[in-house]
Structure 1
């Protein structure tokens, strides 16, 4: 047996409570393992531990599994009668039989030895307050990310002094301000509602000298070029009236150059009461040649004008958590996204979670983390993270034509075995953002463009599109991905067909419960067509939604079956060209 391919731990995404009654248990093995049983029972079923008891659990088969590139992910759900569990595994290959315990592998012969220790896996107790609980409404939400300065200018009276004329096309620069504001977003809420959007994610709106606002000057104020507190409260109220949630962007890893405590430090040095609010290694700072690169102080990346905040400092934590509490209480926001979340202290995130959930247990706390984020997703910090690994996995399949549908299956399964199921339900799924090249600039073929969006809207989690995605807006890397929304052309009907296509996918996501389901698997009906993606979103009894996407360049025959929910380039329901087929099938 491939012993190195087998792994389990009685914690994190391998063993966790889904709710107060159900415990999820997952095991990785190599492909040589053909059958797995779990032997389980209450730890005290045979008496008090260490009392000479002879413990024997009940045997149950593990039948559900997902394929990873080099391993199999076996999964089962159990209901411990007394909220605790002791267990081990029985593994079968074609010609071997082993038992897997916390301390390793035991043969059948060794299992018969009297007195031999068995160090079983143990989940001690399913404490309700330790069970990760995520807000259910997020799974129902389709997000729309807005970069306010480039979305819509609704109030010219508050335009910045250096405002430049709105530009429907062409590259943009970091130093350019176009005058987009909160009033402009309010004006377009009906457009977004018609599109099917039910959640707005706004990049920072607090006072800042830049157009992107990630260099915050004052966290207590709305930037005057965006509006004021009353305008934002109106935006939230109007959005709520249309069934839309609102999520703000919080920048707590670093601040802007003009943040008052930082200015106090620059003026007074070590004598400033705010000196330990920042991470300063050497004083005075020599900004010539880059103080951050000389390691005199820490910053966001190596930008000297974005000093890093010391979230290990209790005063810093209290200051910014109070800020967030005010946003929830005063503005009634529904979600908070943390910028550069993996560099903020875990203690800050835990205290923030506790405070905000006390105010609104249903608030959505999202972290910007681009890599595996399990340490932040154990139920006491973030509800979810931005699911960049999923987006990159989807795009890679179209970029790398050597990848097969089996490779696609492996990489999607990897994304959804990394976390707990309740986390998967609310992962923030996206294909592009203000930090990346726009999808359209990577995907020149519209068939491929809509195909990737179809995958996005069929995945577990909470999908988000970046403003302009519905018209296939182009844009290269930052700052070019932050172009102005071409409202004149949109209102003239230039992008009508594209908007309708995206709107159909959004409304289908909203109306078909199975598309939001966490349960999916990949059949192998198209094993002879390696560039045809097929997966099924499973429901109860015998109903499922099937997604088939042909990326092969050749027409593919599909069985005429079920109710068609969405199609693109499917002829008579039986011949799929380079396109999409989504259907509901009942057996």
Structure 2
């Protein structure tokens, strides 16, 4: 396992900067660099610390035309966010609070207006001696990414593309970043990542790399690409659908699969991100939303919280133009405010439990008792163990013996796990 030691304690707060700072105003006039909007995120850093997270995962911050995933310049901050000095300030403020910073790298494709695309066109049309860095189809045209003609796929077999991506990663790690999320990594040959990361790790051995992988053989991808982790979409789906459908057998099965992944790497676990419907909108019954957070904070992996979920934010992703807007909203300039929020307190309590038990990072789960609507599982790493009880039922559930470390309010007043309650116990 390649991951740096500090990742054992990592809990990420994932934010989509272009949405969070209002880069898509209603009047259609984007902010300019003189507004330095990236600095707005500094106002949220104390909240991240108080939440208990140890780092911020920034969505795309590099120059792009629209949503950030159509990068036109990997060398500069998007003008709608500000300038490179604003990035330096954000990183300095994060590090001053003990927070790591993870960047989102879009290296499968580039925007049609990027310098790479323009140079490739000039090379094809004989206006320059540059190489073509874009993938071409049998007819000589550029290959779009998943049907999006504005996103042009890089030629990952080209040695110059390998060197370019490695240099981009190293440049921003030199500037203070602590690692990279690799967007659409599943669409890129694993041999490409292995070549790139060999170069980058030679200069930055403490950097962490997590690949966006949705389906497929996660352990094989990690082994072949040499990334440290991948996004655990299998567990994400199992958490919300098993709770929504009152079918906790699905969660139990997914946790068995999850144990196998932990044999070779610690997956990035999450309940939502910039591409998914908010967990508070997915799980309709408010009594059961806490159960998802309990699972996230007690099973092995590297947990990530999507900004706003810890406050109970809602939002439904739709498959249409602008369908991501509801899950990528603007954040308040002044931060989350000081009003008492029970959802925030829940997250703080469970993240605090997680931070006090860092061995959970590599812990495996085993089934103790299971029905459609109740699940008791043990989570263990060597001599350390916890018992977790989830109850979606109308009837109470027998509570495992031991010291109650955390539970819902109703269960705190009784000797069992209340209907629709939960508990975490030290046996």
Q: TM-score, structure 2 length as denominator?
A: 0.90
- 1:276 CA drift (Å): 2.6
- 1:347 CA drift (Å): 2.8
Distance 1:468 1:138, change over 3 A: same
Distance 1:499 1:314, change over 3 A: same
**Partners of 2:30 and 2:312 in 1: how far apart?**
23
Distance 1:554 1:274, change over 3 A: farther
**Which one of the candidate residues 564, 568, 579 is aligned to 2:404?**
564
- Report if aligned partners of 1:255, 1:307 keep a CA contact under 8 Å in 2: yes
- 1:583 CA drift (Å): 1.4
- Report if aligned partners of 2:182, 2:212 keep a CA contact under 8 Å in 1: yes
**Which one of the candidate residues 333, 343, 361 is aligned to 2:205?**
361
Please give the secondary structure, in 2, of the residue aligned with 1:378: helix
Structure 1 partner of 2:103: 248
Structure 2 partner of 1:548: 389
Distance 1:269 1:475, change over 3 A: same
Structure 2 partner of 1:384: 229
- 1:348 CA drift (Å): 2.0
**Partners of 1:489 and 1:317 in 2: how far apart?**
39
**Partners of 1:444 and 1:180 in 2: how far apart?**
38
Please give the secondary structure, in 2, of the residue aligned with 1:521: strand
**Partners of 1:273 and 1:573 in 2: how far apart?**
77
**Partners of 2:190 and 2:65 in 1: how far apart?**
29
Please give the secondary structure, in 2, of the residue aligned with 1:333: coil
Distance 1:474 1:492, change over 3 A: same
Greater percentage in helix: 2
- Report if aligned partners of 1:134, 1:422 keep a CA contact under 8 Å in 2: no
**Which one of the candidate residues 273, 276, 290 is aligned to 1:433?**
273
**Which one of the candidate residues 63, 81, 89 is aligned to 1:226?**
81
- 1:364 CA drift (Å): 0.6
Deviations along 1:3-60, one digit per CA (max 9) or x if unpaired, are xxxxxxxxxxxxxxxxxxxxxxxxxxxxxxxxxxxxxxxxxxxxxxxxxxxxxxxxxx
Distance 1:263 1:367, change over 3 A: same
**Structure 1 unaligned runs (5+)?**
1-131, 154-159, 166-174, 285-295
Structure 2 partner of 1:119: none
**Partners of 1:270 and 1:466 in 2: how far apart?**
44
**Partners of 1:517 and 1:382 in 2: how far apart?**
17
After superposition, residues 182-261 of structure 1 pair within 5 angstroms as 182-210=38-66, 212-261=67-116
**Partners of 2:357 and 2:262 in 1: how far apart?**
23
**Which one of the candidate residues 464, 477, 484 is aligned to 2:330?**
484
Distance 1:266 1:360, change over 3 A: closer
Structure 2 partner of 1:412: 255
**Partners of 2:241 and 2:134 in 1: how far apart?**
39
**Which one of the candidate residues 172, 192, 195 is aligned to 1:348?**
192
After superposition, residues 264-279 of structure 1 pair within 5 angstroms as 264-267=119-122, 269-271=124-126, 272-274=128-130, 276-279=132-135
Structure 2 partner of 1:447: 287
Deviations along 1:160-182, one digit per CA (max 9) or x if unpaired, are 6x7448xxxxxxxxx78588932
Structure 1 partner of 2:145: 300
Are 2:25 and 1:140 aligned? Answer: no
- Report if aligned partners of 1:146, 1:202 keep a CA contact under 8 Å in 2: yes
CA RMSD of aligned residues (A): 2.4
Deviations along 1:452-506, one digit per CA (max 9) or x if unpaired, are 011011110110011100112111114122122356794262x622211111111
Distance 1:218 1:548, change over 3 A: same
Are 2:20 and 1:151 aligned? Answer: yes
Distance 1:511 1:492, change over 3 A: closer
**Partners of 2:226 and 2:88 in 1: how far apart?**
27
Computing the radius of gyration from Cα coordinates, the structure with the larger value is 1
- 1:369 CA drift (Å): 0.6
Distance 1:181 1:138, change over 3 A: farther
Structure 2 partner of 1:317: 162
After superposition, residues 453-532 of structure 1 pair within 5 angstroms as 453-477=293-317, 478-479=323-324, 480-486=326-332, 490-491=336-337, 493=339, 496-524=341-369, 527=370, 529-532=371-374
Please give the secondary structure, in 1, of the residue aligned with 2:314: coil
- Which structure ranks higher in relative contact order (CA pairs < 8 Å, sequence separation ≥ 6)? 2
- Report if aligned partners of 2:61, 2:78 keep a CA contact under 8 Å in 1: yes
Aligned residues: 414
**Structure 2 unaligned runs (5+)?**
318-322
- 1:393 CA drift (Å): 1.2
- 1:409 CA drift (Å): 1.9
**Which one of the candidate residues 374, 377, 385 is aligned to 1:535?**
377
Please give the secondary structure, in 1, of the residue aligned with 2:151: coil
